[in-house]
């Protein structure tokens, strides 16, 4: 197939995420990727502002990560996890247990973020069944959340912004309260947690767990909230004997400035979900960690079995590259790097606030967000970013950057300037 035939075949036969086969938005053929640069088959080089959906923190084609995969490949690429185990999985479990809160001592390896969220929900539901309280089967969550595309995960996504509105009547009914409404720089007021507290108290007999993305809500609206909200949530959960599930799939491994976002609130979740960056963006792997209370609690049932077991659970290649990626991150000066990315994002995205189409500009760690008053036209905006030599994938009303941590100041500058220019053109066109 030549380039045009390949594009044509793709267009006619392949679904891309959240796209129509009848009216597909443009796609670009990537030939290779190195550092923070994607090279298209047509020769253009694009600075990556997305880290391939927030995963590829060390950049592409990293020699250390390549070596980890190559070494493991010589030994075995995959073995089943039923009845067998292997060093890469045990090593990774130990690393995750050592890095996370003291109470989290048990790990389930899943094959994607959504599945790891399903597992976290199963853990919570099974826990209460085993405690003789099957009536505690609902989840309490906040609006504007996003936890994945499978049915359990969809049931806790924002019913409108969470991309799954059309399934509303096919999903388990959970309890939603307004999204956290406390900006990090605002003084804390008790009323900021009032609606959450009220819903929790009114429904506590039915609630198995609270599930939230800590500090930054991602695909459901890219909203940043204060650590005190999270602290209050944790306290209320403890007070009313409700499990707390934190979904750190997007925020984990440094993205918000601390190794895990929940550490900013100095709390311990009962269940923690990790994914995306876990393998440095090399392979699909996720993990659900549980406290000993939850793990033993599940086992108090007559069966005692956690009812999940995917075929590619704890894939050795993925576990090996995850081990190498975590080591690489820990050996780097990631705190300084994220702080400097945050500072640059704040300074260089600030002028966007003066554009008439812009509703808000906000940054946290290595995340910079420009929220518009209207949804973007992806058919125009995406090729325009490519013309400017950057890879930025806006959605809905949000144009945002989540670059690899290894990005240089000049490369980040190119991204922020492209955001300003394209949002300005969008503003001028609409005006
Ligand atoms: C917070 C959060 N949870 C869960 C998911 C789903 O993960 P995956 O796409 O790997 O299934 C995502 C994906 O964007 C996410 O941001």
Considering the domain boundaries, does residue 97 fall inside one? yes
Q: Which residue owns the Cα nearest ligand 1 atom 4?
A: 147
Give the DSSP H or E segment for 358. Answer: strand 358-364
- What confidence tens digit (pLDDT) does each residue in 206-217 have? 999 999 999 999
Give me the pLDDT at residue 24, please: 87
Number of domains in the chain: 1
Q: Which residue owns the Cα nearest ligand 1 atom 16?
A: 250
Q: Which of 146, 229, 262, 420 is catalytic?
A: 146
Considering the domain boundaries, does residue 143 fall inside one? yes
282 is catalytic: no
Give me the pLDDT at residue 163, please: 66
Parallel/antiparallel/unpaired status of strands 223-224 and 216-217 = antiparallel
Give me the pLDDT at residue 169, please: 83
Counting from 1 in the atom list of ligand 1, the atom nearest the Cα of 248 is 1
DSSP string for residues in 38-61? EEETTS-EEEESSHHHHT-TT-BS
Query: Whose CA is closest to 247, among 222, 229, 272?
Result: 272
Considering the domain boundaries, does residue 349 fall inside one? no
Considering the domain boundaries, does residue 100 fall inside one? yes
- Residue 140 domain boundaries: 65-331
Considering the domain boundaries, does residue 14 fall inside one? no
Give the CATH number for residue 221: 3.40.640.10
Considering the domain boundaries, does residue 327 fall inside one? yes
Asked whether 391 and 38 are in contact (CB, 8 A), the reply is yes
3-state secondary structure of 388: coil
Asked whether 68 and 303 are in contact (CB, 8 A), the reply is no
247 is catalytic: yes
302 is catalytic: no
Positions of the chain with pLDDT under 70: 161-163, 431
Considering the domain boundaries, does residue 207 fall inside one? yes
183 is catalytic: no
- Residue located via tokens 């659900």: 288
- Average pLDDT, whole number, for the chain? 96
Give the integer Cα–Cα distance in Å for 85 and 90: 8
Give the integer Cα–Cα distance in Å for 269 and 283: 26
CA 402 to centroid of ligand 1, rounded, Å: 15
CA 1 to centroid of ligand 1, rounded, Å: 34
CA 300 to centroid of ligand 1, rounded, Å: 30
Considering the domain boundaries, does residue 268 fall inside one? yes
- What confidence tens digit (pLDDT) does each residue in 120-178 have? 999 999 999 999 999 999 999 999 999 999 999 999 999 886 667 788 888 999 999 99
Looking at the chain, the whole-number percentage of residues with pLDDT higher than 70 is 99
Q: Which residue owns the Cα nearest ligand 1 atom 13?
A: 148
Cβ < 6 A, ligand 1 pocket: 112-114, 117, 146-148, 213, 218-219, 247, 249-250, 275
């Amino acid at each position: 197939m030549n380039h045009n035939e390949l594009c044509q075949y793709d267009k006619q036969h392949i679904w891309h995420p959240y796209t129509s086969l009848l009216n597909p938005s443009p796609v670009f053929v990537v030939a290779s990727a190195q550092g923070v640069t994607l090279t298209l088959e047509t020769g253009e080089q694009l600075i990556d502002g997305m880290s391939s959906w927030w995963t590829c923190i060390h950049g592409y084609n990293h020699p250390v990560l390549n070596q980890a995969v190559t070494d493991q490949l010589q030994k075995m690429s995959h073995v089943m996890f039923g009845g067998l185990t292997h060093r890469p999985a045990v090593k990774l479990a130990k690393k995750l247990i050592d890095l996370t809160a003291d109470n989290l001592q048990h790990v389930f390896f899943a094959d994607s973020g959504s599945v790891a969220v399903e597992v976290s929900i199963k853990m919570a539901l099974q826990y209460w069944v085993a405690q003789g309280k099957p009536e505690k089967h609902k989840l309490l969550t906040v609006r504007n959340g996003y936890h994945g595309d499978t049915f359990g995960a969809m049931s806790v996504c924002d019913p409108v912004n969470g991309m799954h509105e059309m399934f509303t009547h096919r999903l388990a009914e959970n309890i939603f309260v307004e999204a956290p409404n406390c900006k990090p720089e605002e003084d804390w007021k008790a009323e900021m947690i009032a609606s959450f507290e009220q819903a929790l108290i009114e429904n506590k007999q039915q609630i198995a767990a609270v599930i939230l993305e800590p500090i930054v809500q991602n695909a459901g609206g890219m909203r940043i909230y204060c650590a005190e909200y999270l602290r209050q949530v944790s306290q209320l959960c403890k007070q009313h004997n409700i499990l707390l599930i934190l979904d750190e799939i997007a925020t984990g491994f440094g993205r918000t400035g601390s190794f895990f976002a929940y550490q900013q609130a100095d709390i311990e979740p009962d269940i923690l979900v990790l994914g995306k960056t876990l393998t440095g963006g090399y392979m699909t792997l996720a993990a659900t960690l549980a406290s000993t209370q939850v793990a033993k609690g599940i086992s108090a049932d007559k069966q005692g079995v956690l009812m999940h077991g995917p075929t590619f659970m704890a894939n050795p290649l993925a576990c090996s590259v995850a081990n190498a990626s975590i080591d690489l991150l820990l050996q780097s000066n990631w705190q300084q790097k994220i702080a400097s990315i945050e500072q640059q994002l704040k300074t260089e995205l600030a002028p966007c606030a003066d554009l008439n189409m812009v509703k808000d500009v906000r940054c946290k760690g290595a995340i910079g967000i420009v929220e518009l008053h209207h949804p973007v036209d992806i058919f125009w905006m995406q090729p325009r970013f490519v013309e400017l030599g950057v890879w930025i994938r806006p959605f809905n009303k949000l144009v945002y950057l989540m670059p690899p941590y290894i990005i240089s100041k000049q490369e980040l500058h190119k991204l922020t300037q492209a955001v300003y220019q394209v949002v300005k053109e969008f503003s001028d066109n609409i005006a």
